[in-house]
Structure 1
Amino acid sequence: MASRARKKQQRWCTQPLTPLMEGPDPEMQEEGTKKESSWEVIREWFRLQKGGGLGVHGSSSFSLSLYGNIPSKTQDLRLLLGVLGCPLAPIPLATDPLHRLHIKDIPIETSSACYIIQQYLAATGCLKQEKGMKNMYTTGTMKMICCETEISTGKSVKSLGTRSGENGCFVLWQMSPGMWSLELVVGCNKVVAGSNGKIVWRHTPWLGTHAAKGPHRPLRRIIQGLDPKSTASLFAKAQCLGEKRIGEDDCFVLKVAADRAAVMERNEGPAEVIRHVLYGYFSQKSGLLIYLEDSHLTRVQAPGNDTVYWETTIGTSLWDYRDVDGVMIAHEGRTIATVFRFGEVSMQHSRTRMEELWVIDDVVFNVPGLSFDYFIPPADIFDVDNSP
């Protein structure tokens, strides 16, 4: 009897969970079968901000101005998830190990970068690992914030928006080489993305499922302090640009960039990718990666409209490195993204700043039972690819 009473006292109380938007967004049903790409979501968000900001009521980014039946607060969240949710690195991971590169046959900028990357591998503990990492499980929390929008009309500059955000969390699975799966929940929306080593895909409630164009590229979240070996592989053929001070650290600056043929494969309709570069800042004192920045420039030439340029810059500060099974992993960071729109009318531009604060809660290596089947792409990816 005493044991039964004890069990009743230990019984957990159930708590309702917030519903997640995993399927088609009901707010998009009135738009029929209209298909949008990710850059079109960004373009429409800026159009909504410009119209709301210059209107009679001077509405902010969290106002109730509408695009169809979609409140601008929902548009803000879509912009945040589209830019910061699951961006990819500009280039694929290198297939040749660093130790196979012949220093005598490469420029001094590249050989210096190779030396810096070797120091990074040593600082993170990867060179001392006796057993290779087969897979990785990571959980984390974040807060995404749409800070402000700056609209310039040539004669005046107007700032809109309030510093409000949404809390969220994510689960990331990774298996070498190149396979990963990400589930990210912010607000009431869920974004799922993944790769089987050949195809990179993403699903959002407002865009559905679609595959990333161009070469197979790694998830940016993986290279920002979670997997030092993938980070080193990404910078295997980097160039050392010199030194720069970040905060209180003197850093070596390494640069990698997608070549012209690779960025052309990522063109989508009237959107043409001009360049995509990535900069890594490695501390001279600790050897660790403390700042990561990439810049992505797209040109949009729609029929009957002026050419518009979109430049997205994402900078991530990394800190709180901790030892996890002999590997130093960054457990906290801050990402600031800026979307800059210009070129439509001379002396006019729009600039939006957004932010993500993230914390890694748990990292586990070599989880038993994880197989290749977990990274199989959804079936509708192939339906989209085969559609006329």
Structure 2
Amino acid sequence: MKQAAAKSSLRRLCPNIDKEDGLETVLEIPIPEEMFATMGSNVTVRWQNMLTWMKAQTEDKLSSPAVSARLNELRFLLYLVGSPLIPLQVQLGHSIHRPVRDSSIEASTAKYIVQQYIAATGGPPALNAVESMCVTGQIKISASDFHQTEGVLEVKKTSEEIGGFVLWQKDPDLWCLEVVVAGCKVVCGSNGKLSWRHSSNQQTPISKGAPRPLRRFLQGLDPRATANLFLNAACIGEKIINDEECFILKLETSPAIREAQGGPNFEIIHHTIWGYFSQRSGLMVQFEDSRLLTMRTKDDNDIFWETSLESVMEDYKYVDGINVSHSGKTRVTVSRYGEQSSNHKRELEERWKIEEVDFNVRGLTAESFMPPSGLGKTPNTL
């Protein structure tokens, strides 16, 4: 893999505690050194605590109310911040060019801005040469409790959670993400026909839906997918982001896509995406999306949920001729309101750091992205 730094801050091997001369075990998901350091007073105790933590995910442990509540909270954080999806399918194939003819001024301007972005991230030959990708990194997630938006209430932050992730991709619709934070592991992926997500601690059915890209790809990791996404956008103006003058590209999810992704008890009212592209460098420095949906309760009341995510991409570095963002921050605001519900708001934040990126991984096939065996029995709930 291509090193993002001289020394990785992820721990990848677990020593054989039972046999001093035994072979070390490769961790499925590397964990941050900072996370490992909190597990005990010395290395031996830390590894023993970690093994205990990994083996603790049994049904009797999960039945404890305290443990169950803790895992539900971690799952909420990882689903909403660590592994959100985007409701638009990214164009398959390597084409990152659309004709400007018969386009409005806003649409043709957007296509020109996207072409500048393609050049800034390596150019068509480098981007089109990518067949697959593997990324490892670490994340830090913090969140507030739900608080009422009427009146002045103090927002109390929870403790910061630290974890690591591994991400594999082969073309836009073939991908798999494994992320672990504080003992909770979430695995999600897409095999080109459907996308799915579940937690290793989860006793409820696996959720699934139509194939969609992982939002993390559009946070500076996959320039070709980002370019293909915004080729259908419109340029709506300019804005200064972190002292950078940027063009604003906007994309609306169509009614047909919103209807297809709705469910029996909820409806997606809108989902809007914005990209902020630096006029100086051509790179995308901020990515936003906002979704509003309504849910019908058992009492036949409507409750509205609005989720807004704002990601800032930083530390762009070239890997095999492709300019990739190696760190950033995502802020999430979740609002709940309705006639029979008090207005509540919750704020979350994720900071990420990419440790290694490798393109064109050998031996990666479509079989590498097979969904869990029990997926066919579950409803379309993703």
1:290 aligns with 285
Contact 1:126 1:228 in 2 (8 A): no
> Counterpart of 1:244?
239
Matches for 1:365-376 after TM superposition, within 5 Å: 365-376=359-370
- For the residue of structure 2 that corresponds to 1:368, the secondary structure is coil
Supply the AA of the counterpart residue of 1:127. Answer: P
The residue number in structure 2 matching 1:89 is 86
Aligned residue pair count:
337
Distance (whole Å) between structure 2 residues aligned to residue 365 and residue 141 of structure 1: 19
Q: For 2:120, which of 100, 118, 123 is the aligned residue?
A: 123
* Amino acid aligned to 2:345: R
Check conservation: 1:94, 1:236, Cα contact below 8 A: no
Matched, 1:218 2:213: yes
Give the aligned partner of residue 133 of structure 2. 136
Amino acid in structure 1 at the alignment position of 2:369: F
RMSD of the TM alignment (CA)? 2.7
- Structure 1 match to 2:184: 189
Match of 1:206 in 2: 202
Between the aligned partners of 1:210 and 1:257, the Cα distance in structure 2 is: 29
Which residue pairs with 1:326 in the alignment?
321
Indicate the percent of aligned positions where both proteins have the same amino acid. Answer: 37
Structure 2 contact 266–293 (Cα < 8 Å) conserved = yes
Q: Which runs of 5+ in 1 are unaligned?
A: 1-7, 31-67
Q: 1:274 aligns with which of 259, 269, 274?
A: 269
User: 2:347 aligns to what SS in structure 1?
Assistant: strand
Return the alpha-carbon distance in structure 2 between the equivalents of residues 328 and 170 of structure 1. Answer: 21
* Correspondence for 2:99 among 90, 102, 105: 102
Following the alignment from structure 2 to structure 1, what is the Cα–Cα distance between the partners of residues 214 and 233? Answer: 18
CA contact (8 A) 2:142 2:157 kept: no
Q: 1:303: Cα distance to partner?
A: 3.6
Q: Is the 8 A contact 1:148 1:159 kept in 2?
A: no
Q: Equivalent residue of 1:103, what SS?
A: coil
Larger radius of gyration: 1
The change in CA–CA distance for 1:9 and 1:385 in structure 2 (over 3 A counts) is: closer
TM-score w.r.t. structure 1 length? 0.79
1:261 equivalenced with 2:256 (yes/no): yes
Contact kept? 2:195, 2:208, Cα under 8 Å? yes
Q: Equivalent residue for 1:44? A: none
Tell me the residue number matched to 1:41. none
Is the Cα contact below 8 Å between 1:112 and 1:240 reproduced in 2?
yes
Distance 1:369 1:306, change over 3 A: same
- Residues 159-178 of structure 1: CA deviation (Å, up to 9, x unaligned): 34234121000000000142
What letter matches 2:359 in structure 1? F
SS at match of 2:318: strand
Using structure 2 for the length normalisation, give the TM-score: 0.81
Deviation at 1:299, TM superposition (A): 0.3
